[in-house]
A = this chain, B = another copy of it.
Amino acid sequence: MDYRFSSHVERLQSSAVRDILKLTQGQEIISFAGGLPAEELFPLEAISDAAQRVFAAGKGSLQYGLTEGYLPLREQLCGRMAAKGMQVEPDQMIMTTGSQQAIDLIVRVLMEPGDVVLVENPTYLASLQVFNLGGLRIVPVPSDKDGMIMADAERLMREHKPRMVYVVPTFGNPTGRVWSLDRRKGLLELCSRFGIPILEDDPYGEIKFNANDYFPTLFSLAGAADGGGVLYTSTFSKTVAPALRTGWAIGDRRVIQMLAKAKQAADLHSSTLDQQTLDQLLREFPLDEHIRRIGDAYGARLGQMENLLKSQNWPDVKWITPQGGMFLWLEFPEALDTQALLRSAVTKGVAFVPGAAFYAAAPQRHTARLNFTYTEGERMALGISRLAEALGEFTARL
């Protein structure tokens, strides 16, 4: 059979991270590439106990569930959202297969092929994939360490009439960037004026290295019961475990209802075993304490990676110390193409993600994303020394 594929899927690039992982299969590679949480911090026993309580509740726990998600979990999650200044009812929430699916469903519900979405530059790679799959035109907004530059955002809104703005305001991926309060309010004001919905993606917001930091979400700043034009997505993948594949979206009831209609067609509902397990977990397990432990541990790992990098004395390698999240964003000298560096690095047994993949346009090819949460101690040190070796040989050849 001579299959013909849909044009949007044909154009879809396989993820750079994924391709690198394929490259490294069968080799002993220390990977700073993936966005993997630290396995040793997964609350395995608590999850196992929670699952046992689900099974103990009887065979009804194995039946089909609601498309919107398991109601007791949504109720508990509304409490968690309220504690972060987001007052929502369970019918303003839909549970999804990771927050990735929430992004995909929002695109399917709000966007038509050819519609424009504004994004930070650089931004989360897999959201770019969703936008490409949806046939969207992706317009990147010039951004600095404080977020999108508002003058550019306004100009591009007038020029392109976007149907959505996608942002990761707290601990952005790949940069770790935290938007300033001014920029947060600025974007809300602009989007309200132009009538543009905001998709606020917040997978990392709880992973803070200083527990006292507080970065209000756009949803909470909008100060409206319906989110004031903000759709907010998050996930348990980083705070509990990725295998449970449970994320969610909150927002205006009409949008949630449309998302439920689309999700009903897309997969009926996400795993109810996972959702019930999370519901049981939240009842007995001190999740907020656990999240603080994760933040402390990740902060320490970041510290180790920064010390290792500083000790290399690489000339002209810069980064901004992130205050949370899972990634360190490096800028090498402009002449250095990190895609080429990666090929050398892999032969030395270390991997990272070249930064170009995160740009919707005008890629800065001298950037790289390093994950600091999956490795630690000697293994992290060995990885950085391998990277140093690769960089030494590579620059000698330039």
What's the Cα separation between A272 and B241 when bound, in Å?
11
What's the Cα separation between A12 and B265 when bound, in Å?
9
A36 to chain B minimum Cβ distance, whole angstroms, is 6
A240-279 interface bits toward B, Cβ cutoff 8 Å, 1 = contact, 0 = none: 0111110000001011001001101111111111101100
A6 and B108 contacting across the interface, CB-CB below 8 Å:
yes
A143 to chain B minimum Cβ distance, whole angstroms, is 23
Chain A residues 16-67 with CB under 8 Å of chain B are 18, 34-37, 39-40, 42, 44, 47-48, 51-52, 55, 58-65, 67
B44 and A55 contacting across the interface, CB-CB below 8 Å:
yes
What's the Cα separation between A227 and B110 when bound, in Å?
36
A62 and B243 contacting across the interface, CB-CB below 8 Å:
yes
Number of copies: 2
Stretch touching chain B among A93-101, A172-180, A208-216, A344-352? A93-101
In the complex, A109 has a CB within 8 A of chain B? yes
Neighbouring B residues of A96 by C-beta, 8 Å:
267
Neighbouring B residues of A227 by C-beta, 8 Å:
1
- A4 and B42 in contact (CB under 8 A), knowing A241-B62, A265-B104? no
> Considering residues A67, A241, A271, which has the most beta carbons from chain B within 10 angstroms of its beta carbon?
A271
> Considering residues A12, A59, A195, A255, which has the most beta carbons from chain B within 10 angstroms of its beta carbon?
A59
Stretch touching chain B among A81-89, A126-134, A315-323, A328-336? A126-134
Chain A residues 119-177 with CB under 8 Å of chain B are 126, 129-130, 132-133, 163
Instruction: Name the residue of chain B whose CB is nearest to the CB of A38.
Output: B59
Instruction: Name the residue of chain B whose CB is nearest to the CB of A195.
Output: B2
A59 and B34 contacting across the interface, CB-CB below 8 Å:
no
Neighbouring B residues of A55 by C-beta, 8 Å:
44, 47-48, 51
B9 and A261 contacting across the interface, CB-CB below 8 Å:
yes
A110 and B6 contacting across the interface, CB-CB below 8 Å:
yes
Neighbouring B residues of A108 by C-beta, 8 Å:
6, 9, 133
In the complex, A229 has a CB within 8 A of chain B? yes
In the complex, A197 has a CB within 8 A of chain B? yes
Residue in B12, B126, B228, B252 whose beta carbon sits within 8 Å of that of A268 in the complex: B126
A272 and B243 contacting across the interface, CB-CB below 8 Å:
yes
B62 and A42 contacting across the interface, CB-CB below 8 Å:
yes
Neighbouring B residues of A58 by C-beta, 8 Å:
44
What's the Cα separation between A242 and B61 when bound, in Å?
10
B266 and A104 contacting across the interface, CB-CB below 8 Å:
yes
What's the Cα separation between A67 and B3 when bound, in Å?
22
B104 and A267 contacting across the interface, CB-CB below 8 Å:
yes
Q: Top 3 A-B pairs ranked by shortest CB distance? A: A1-B229, A62-B241, A48-B55
